[in-house]
Structure 1
Amino acid sequence: MLAKLIQTVRPSAVTVIFLAIATGSSGLSLATHARELGEIEIGIVEDQTGESLVTRVQLLDSKGRAMRIKGARFARGWNLVEGPLLYRGRAGNYRYQVFHGPQFSAGNGGFTLHDDGAGSDTLRLQRHANIADEGWRGADLLARGVPDLVRPWLAAEDLDLAVIVDEQTAAEQEVPDAESFVLQPTASPADAAWVEHGSYHDTRPGSGLVLHHWLPPAEVPVDLPSSRLLVMSKQSVVPAGGLPVHNEIQRLWARDVPVWLASGHVDSIQILSEHLTRDGTDATKFTPYLEPDPGRFRGPRGPGRLIEYLYWQVLETGLRIPPSAGSGYGKGNSPLGYNRVYANTPHLSPNYWWLALKAGNSFVTNGPLLRARVNGYDAGSILTVPRGQAEFHLDVTLTLTTSDPVEYLDVIFNGKTLYQARLDEYAKQGGVIPPLQVTESGWAVVRVVTEREHTYRLASTAPFYIEFDGRARISRSAVRFFQDWLAKATKELASDAESAAAAAPYLAAADMFWTQRLSEATAD
């Protein structure tokens, strides 16, 4: 969307909502007859309406062991509870945690069971946001498993879409027809949620693409260039009723990244992916193919900060590719939707959602909910500066909902901090951000980074773009970085004659692209 210039002098408003933690302490009433096991029933409801919620529950005994709740689905220590928590077990002390997505307070509490006792309690979770009313719909674009087993978790995570990727080749499976891309939507359009399958995850060495709504027509040879899959997917005919192909870079650290970027066939980049997990463990470990700044990205937050930095380098080359997110559910220990992307669309349908994501009207998160606008425009917009005007003011407004302690809020412009503040300080001052001034073309993202030290937990908008004199920003240093990356990849592939021959056309095209890009650079 092309945004027109809006002049404003009013300060930016920041609406901050801190989520409280609901707690419960369930006392047991003695039963009138003896029991071999104690029983407890805890109703889990929305505080404002009293309606029962579908939740993700972890129940631990006194030794810290995860307990299965009868009748509930169980995965990696978590129970999917549809209605009240009903548990019958041995005498002892128990603790529980209850989650229903980032729009609700989390709940925790404990109870003691006796052999001859039974009790009941109610846990009320407060809703602190209803971003569906604002047009936001959340998705996890990297899940694994059987669709019918994944779909029930959508309600527990307050998630609208899960995409199941397949790492098998088409020779080992049947290609789903158009109707099977969307499975079992709920009956009510206002609460519709869906699971998609039929997306190919290319995990071969040097690759890391997710090709949504497309499967290769035959078994993929080991030496087939990954860029060939990009071309094939985009040349495929979308069947009647099917969804358009949407290609993602899932591994932004992979060898073939500069070739993919040069192809023009990349629709989004997963900047929150399997390298970030809820508790910081069982994350995908990786070594960047080309280290941008040796020694800089270390510690538990290092992988997340590195991928974010690489994404910023993509933006610095003038490419306008929105971010996305996927949790890797079904492989790691993160729950479905831990890493998620929200896209904004007034029309609730899969096709419109994917179009909104491609347009960059979105934000990514693994914690806070961050909705921001610049000069009244949504992320993905281009803000044009009238010719001859030397300065441009950015008026940032945002609404933030978070249960995590926030370290800082900032606005990044062309990879550097344009504005930063500790959120608690500005919350006390009414949450006012002064108008920000820029004097050159570029891109901006609004971020909230939490204080979690064991992992990189944050929310970030997709970029806003600012153009002076109708020119986009292209950084020479960023282009040269990807040229160096491409040179290293070319040298590696040259060591195998067969691989080199197959990749040669794509490497040559990428070299021409980056050479041309360098000649068009507008900034250092």
Structure 2
Amino acid sequence: MCKQELTVPAFLIFWGLALLLGFSAVPTSTFAANGFTLQAIDEKSGSPVPTRVVFQHADGRQRIVRRTLPAGIGFVINGEQMLSLSLGDYQFQMIRGPEYRILTGTFTIDRDASDSHSVALPRMVDMAAEGWWSGDPAVTPSLRTLPLLMQSEDLHFAGYVGTGEQVFVPLDQPLPENGDASLWGPAEIRTDMCANGNGLLLVGIPEAFPIDSSAPPPTVSSSTIRAAAQYDVEGVIVENPFAWDLPIWLASGRVDAIFLQGDWLRLDRSVKRVINGRPPNDPGFSGTLGVGKWAEHIYWQLLNCGMRIAPLGGSGSQLTKHPVGYSRTYVHSPASLDTSPEGTPITSEDWWAGALAGRSTVTNGPLLRPRFGGELPGHVFKARTGEALEFQMELNLATRDPVDYLEVIHNGTIVYNARLDEFAKAGGMIPKLRIEESGWVLVRVVTAHTDHWRAAVSAPWYIEFDGKPRIDRAAVQFFQDWLSEREAILGKLPANERAAHAPYIRAAREYWQSLADQAAP
């Protein structure tokens, strides 16, 4: 077992860093060839727990197991499962979201062996007990199987954007249903959602909202935002931050959130280039880490334009055959629950409201619980010209991956950077940040994972002097250039198609020029 802990003085335990690196090895076992029962239990409670299991042949090839629920990579056991495999040697992993350690081991299928085995899953951190609740804003698996898939990944909230197909899977135990609460908390699935196929996602659509799931994506993607305004939709989310129409969507002033981590961060393969949207022209965004870094860079630019748009992490409407909740969003309980017993579940309404308000962190690995100036992400600090604000970044962190570095970013500039050992030597304390102008601050933890970008990022805290946001001229130019490239692409379309886009292009051009006129010199 590999485990690393950082001990900090008692008065720093809450605000300092609690680090756990966890992969636990299980001794080699021998199972019966005619069938054996595998059971997963929570190490602390001793209760059976749903989990995802990956079986591999000795050569590393994944083994498909009949009569189990596929989970994209591996399969799900609902507490326990009767399994049947051919003779031979196998490797396995048991994975239950990022809050548990990953159990690894080997086993042999023999003719004359025991017919049952129980494995205890050790929890690394209980985020819900600290007020942080997990969710995936856009998932596609069948509604019939989704509750069990969520419970196997310790995922509490999800937005369903699938086709509505009800997949039949022969299992020995009944499947849980939407909203089933258990020892492991709620598994709430929201279905009043739709994805337009161009990279936009709507949350909270009314029954009267016009949806034709068989129709192709609208030619003019911005018409989706216009319809959202007409029908008073709860939230507009950009799930493709690279989309060519992004500067047009942002100019509408109706975007509530944007995916910072999405279907370009995958466990089954590395995505090395932007497939549907504007690619980067900087070599710093190349390679296996490039697309993930490019998404964050785009997000920093829109923040530097004075926008308050929440970041999200999730699967997206195009990702299938992949574990739900690999990229996820953790939302902190609202202030009304601060005095409630630890682990008191929040409602689906509270989770989505917190996600769209940016009271959150985004991750596909590390588990970050930060506060800045004593406040949760999404908070707006207000001041007047001539004042100087000083705030401390405070955080707890748990991770299964070796951490490469920890950073605090202020207005797009890295103002604190430390390797984890350097941070530990400093007693888990980050120097105070002095702020004298409007802007934003966030914190991120980047791992040493090399297959793709794996990190935890907080939603921003905002600082507002004299009631005005900070608008950076270079950031505005970034989106003006993007819009010009989009116009050049649209200019190649037939005249009637160009005409359909023209009103949105003109409005976007005026919007970005207005921002440029407001930008600091």
TM-score of the two chains, using structure 1 as the length reference: 0.85
Secondary structure at 1:318 match in 2 = coil
Change (3 A) 1:330 1:82: farther
State the alpha-carbon separation in 2 of the partners of residues 300 and 514 from structure 1.
Answer: 32
Structure 1 residue 113 corresponds to structure 2 residue 122: no
Structure 1 residue 264 corresponds to structure 2 residue 257: no
Residue of structure 1 in register with 2:309 after alignment:
321
Residue of structure 1 in register with 2:377 after alignment:
379
State the alpha-carbon separation in 1 of the partners of residues 65 and 517 from structure 2.
Answer: 63
Change (3 A) 1:77 1:436: closer
Structure 1 residue 186 corresponds to structure 2 residue 175: no
State the alpha-carbon separation in 2 of the partners of residues 100 and 388 from structure 1.
Answer: 50
RMSD, aligned CA: 2.7
State the alpha-carbon separation in 2 of the partners of residues 420 and 403 from structure 1.
Answer: 20
Residue of structure 2 in register with 1:212 after alignment:
203
Change (3 A) 1:270 1:371: same
The 5 A counterparts of 1:300-319 are 300-319=288-307
Residue of structure 2 in register with 1:6 after alignment:
none
Residue of structure 2 in register with 1:481 after alignment:
478
Residue of structure 2 in register with 1:32 after alignment:
none
Residue of structure 1 in register with 2:357 after alignment:
359
How far 1:339 sits from its partner (Å)? 0.8
2:251 maps to amino acid? A
Structure 1 residue 236 corresponds to structure 2 residue 231: yes
Conservation of the 8 A alpha-carbon contact between 1:270 and 1:326: yes
Change (3 A) 1:61 1:38: farther
Conservation of the 8 A alpha-carbon contact between 2:150 and 2:156: yes
State the alpha-carbon separation in 2 of the partners of residues 84 and 11 from structure 1.
Answer: 37
Residue of structure 2 in register with 1:439 after alignment:
436
Secondary structure at 2:19 match in 1 = strand
State the alpha-carbon separation in 2 of the partners of residues 167 and 24 from structure 1.
Answer: 39
State the alpha-carbon separation in 1 of the partners of residues 73 and 398 from structure 2.
Answer: 27
The alignment covers a number of residue pairs equal to 484
Residue of structure 2 in register with 1:343 after alignment:
331
Residue of structure 1 in register with 2:20 after alignment:
18
The 5 A counterparts of 1:250-289 are 250-281=239-270, 285-286=274-275, 288-289=277-278
Change (3 A) 1:99 1:234: same
Conservation of the 8 A alpha-carbon contact between 1:185 and 1:194: yes
2:489 maps to amino acid? E
Residue of structure 1 in register with 2:491 after alignment:
494
Residue of structure 1 in register with 2:170 after alignment:
none
State the alpha-carbon separation in 2 of the partners of residues 396 and 42 from structure 1.
Answer: 44
The CA deviation string for residues 377-407 of structure 1, in whole angstroms up to 9 with x for no partner, is 1101111234422x32220111111101100
Q: What 5-or-longer segments of structure 1 have no aligned partner?
A: 1-9, 30-34, 173-182, 238-243
Secondary structure at 1:499 match in 2 = helix
Change (3 A) 1:513 1:189: farther
**Equivalent of residue 422 in structure 1, options 414, 419, 422:** 419
How far 1:184 sits from its partner (Å)? 2.2
Q: Provide the identity percentage.
A: 33
Secondary structure at 2:299 match in 1 = helix
How far 1:42 sits from its partner (Å)? 4.0
The CA deviation string for residues 3-29 of structure 1, in whole angstroms up to 9 with x for no partner, is xxxxxxx99942222142222114449
State the alpha-carbon separation in 2 of the partners of residues 484 and 220 from structure 1.
Answer: 32
How far 1:272 sits from its partner (Å)? 0.4
Residue of structure 1 in register with 2:173 after alignment:
none
Conservation of the 8 A alpha-carbon contact between 2:411 and 2:439: yes
How far 1:459 sits from its partner (Å)? 0.5
Conservation of the 8 A alpha-carbon contact between 2:195 and 2:317: no
State the alpha-carbon separation in 1 of the partners of residues 37 and 461 from structure 2.
Answer: 49
State the alpha-carbon separation in 1 of the partners of residues 102 and 427 from structure 2.
Answer: 26
State the alpha-carbon separation in 2 of the partners of residues 231 and 139 from structure 1.
Answer: 27
Change (3 A) 1:255 1:418: same
Conservation of the 8 A alpha-carbon contact between 1:223 and 1:499: no
Conservation of the 8 A alpha-carbon contact between 2:239 and 2:316: no
Conservation of the 8 A alpha-carbon contact between 1:167 and 1:201: no
State the alpha-carbon separation in 1 of the partners of residues 178 and 276 from structure 2.
Answer: 39
State the alpha-carbon separation in 1 of the partners of residues 263 and 114 from structure 2.
Answer: 42
Residue of structure 2 in register with 1:468 after alignment:
465
Q: What 5-or-longer segments of structure 2 have no aligned partner?
A: 1-11, 166-176, 338-344
**Equivalent of residue 410 in structure 2, options 402, 408, 413:** 413
How far 1:288 sits from its partner (Å)? 4.6
How far 1:257 sits from its partner (Å)? 0.7
The 5 A counterparts of 1:502-517 are 502-517=500-515
Change (3 A) 1:297 1:349: same
State the alpha-carbon separation in 2 of the partners of residues 388 and 12 from structure 1.
Answer: 33
State the alpha-carbon separation in 2 of the partners of residues 225 and 518 from structure 1.
Answer: 26
State the alpha-carbon separation in 2 of the partners of residues 329 and 200 from structure 1.
Answer: 9
> Which moved further from structure 2: 371-380 or 497-506?
497-506
Residue of structure 2 in register with 1:149 after alignment:
145
How far 1:132 sits from its partner (Å)? 1.3
State the alpha-carbon separation in 2 of the partners of residues 230 and 329 from structure 1.
Answer: 17
> Which moved further from structure 2: 282-291 or 378-387?
282-291
TM-score of the two chains, using structure 2 as the length reference: 0.86
1:269 maps to amino acid? I
Change (3 A) 1:361 1:40: same
Secondary structure at 1:148 match in 2 = coil
Conservation of the 8 A alpha-carbon contact between 1:409 and 1:420: yes
